[in-house]
Amino acid sequence: MMRRFFTLSLLLVTAISVSAATPKISVKHVEPLSWWVGMNMPLQLMVNGEAISQCDVKILPEGQGVSVSATHKADSPNYLFVDIAIENDAVAGEYILRFTNGKRKYDYKYTIAERREGSRERLSFTNADFVYLIMPDRFANGNPENDSTKYTAEKVMRSNPGRRHGGDLQGMIDHLDYIADLGATAIWSTPLLLDNENGASYHGYSCSDYYMIDPRFGTNALFKEYVEECHKRDLKVIMDIVPNHSSTSHWWYKDQPFEDWTHKWDSYTQSNWTFSTNMDFNASKSDLYQMESGWFDRSMADMNLDNPYLLRYFQQWAIWWIEYSNLDGFRVDTYPYNEKMPMSEWCQAVMEEYPNFNIVGEVWTSSIPQLAYWQGGNYNKDGFNSNLKSIMDFPLHDALRSAMCESGDCGWGQGMTRVYDVVSHDFVYHDLSNMMIMAANHDTDRIADVCEGDLRRMKIVHTLLCTMRGMPQMLYGDELMFRSTDRSKGHPTLRVDFPGGWAEDSVNLFDRAQHEGDMKELFDYTRHLMNWRKTKEVIHSGKTLHFIDRDNTYAFFRYNEESVVFVYINNSNDTKRVPWSRYSEISAGLGEGRDVISGETVNMNDMSVEPMSALIVEFTR
């Protein structure tokens, strides 16, 4: 009897020992969230869970063209990178990722779907588009119930310009007709992904989860619906993304897969923000390293794209959002602060998946040669090719804004000569059609503030946006002369709420019937030009011929074989007679033209332009 009891006790102890040595399997995250048959990019899953690296993994059912081809351990035992082979004729559907560690197993459902028909050949934004920039938190509150959530740190406080105000995806959807009627053909919104910082999280540039729409904006499904609603109105959708840095509130921050997943310093070190170090033959390696590896802000962990697993993660993340939501383009924040060679590979991977896709990078510099360096295909002396299709034209932005502060008689090189000088450097750029031009965005002073609320100057600005080469972009509300509430307090006060976007607003400026005075005149003028521009191939892709004058005027022609558009800007305080004969190399034989604003026929040999105003005339050859 004693021997039998001892045997049973030994078996029990052995069972307990086996159980203790075989920990329970948990899977917290699997990213990408899903995938598709027929993709160019090979699938590599990042799996996160306690001690998950101890597990073997296979995919079920077998024999369907989907299998595990390799697994890779990270520095942290709580990560496993799993390569999934998907044959071109694989069966789409729901699969099981089976994790095992000895006698335990854990099944995780994973979807491999069919691709949307024509997905690879999707078109993107081009110079035929006019881009409307929205800051979602400040645009419209379509669902007050999600203003604050128990899952997010910062709560709504509309009275504070630096806090969340409650704008969301539903609010954007509710006012798409306003944007389409204005004449925009594409929407760029600042980031919509989760930003779970304790303060100033409304801007979205400190991502806490790359696969999750911030619940205060909505859900992944609602974002997909937003894209669908935009497409119904012939509006393209450009997603704003930030591979350079993530939030320190990201779920991976305290337990990173690899030691070099983010850049680490002995003490907090910011970037030196000198991205000329990327192309400067004389720059020190230490300056380049600090530029790339220094942090943008204390709450923004600088990502290390030299880590191949992180690079693959970001490539797949970008492709996942395109395929999942049917996107039309990307805007990449703080582009030159990333490691440049991995980012070139990132762009290449996206373009190989979607050959017609467009990506515009924020390269904030007033240096034309430095800006040109970052556009894909540029003839750089060091042989570097960014594979970045489009760049933002900050030199033109700076010149235009400076010119608007210099009315009347100007010194040499001032006023409209500044704009002429920037355009005279167009020979530096590889592809003028892929330049995004703007007078303001969410990070700059409102253009109406720069113009001091002067309707005449605002009309000049919008005339230039609608007629110059490149892809124009306008910040929400600039069509209505929105101004900052207090310029001394920085960015939060220029990111004003759109009146009418909240139920308690006393004025609704989404309703054209409520526009009055200068606001109404500017809106009508801008709307007319933006809608006129939609069908003007000569503006989209025509060449430019411009003429130098030193009297604070600027004359240029956009032309092709069929059409000519003449633009004359009088930024002075005097009435100017258009010197038509001076332009004889292109004007000879044009005959009468049509004033684009009034619709009237005009004789250019007897035309004068009032102070602080613009003239746009179109001709048929």
Phi, psi of 512 (to 5 degrees): -60, -25
* CB contact at 8 A, 241 and 330: yes
Q: Is the bond preceding residue 32 a cis peptide, omega within 30 degrees?
A: yes
Token pair belonging to 130: 């006019």
Going 358 to 359 to 365 to 371, the CA torsion angle's sign is negative
Q: Which residues contact 260 (CB under 8 A, 6 or more apart)?
A: 304, 306, 307
Among 194, 191, 192, 223, CA closest to 208: 194
Phi, psi of 86 (to 5 degrees): -125, 110
**Catalytic site residue from 195, 353, 362, 479:** 362
**Catalytic site residue from 333, 353, 479, 618:** 333
Q: Is 577 exposed, middle or buried (0-12, 13-18, 19+ CB in 10 A)?
A: exposed
Cα distances (angstroms) measured from residue 608 to each of 460, 467, 568, 580: 16, 20, 10, 10
Q: Which residues contact 249 (CB under 8 A, 6 or more apart)?
A: 153, 196, 197, 206, 208, 299
Q: Which residues contact 155 (CB under 8 A, 6 or more apart)?
A: 147, 148, 164
Token pair belonging to 253: 């921050």
The Cα–Cα gap between 177 and 187 comes to 12
Q: Which residues contact 63 (CB under 8 A, 6 or more apart)?
A: none
> 429: how many CB neighbours lie within 10 A of its CB?
20
Q: Give the 3-state secondary structure of residue 300.
A: strand
The Cα–Cα gap between 539 and 20 comes to 72
Residue 362 appears among annotated catalytic residues? yes
Specify whether the backbone of 477 is left (phi greater than 0), alpha (psi in -120 to 50) or beta: left
Residue 409 appears among annotated catalytic residues? no
Phi, psi of 410 (to 5 degrees): -120, 160
Q: Give the residue numbers marked as catalytic.
A: 333, 362
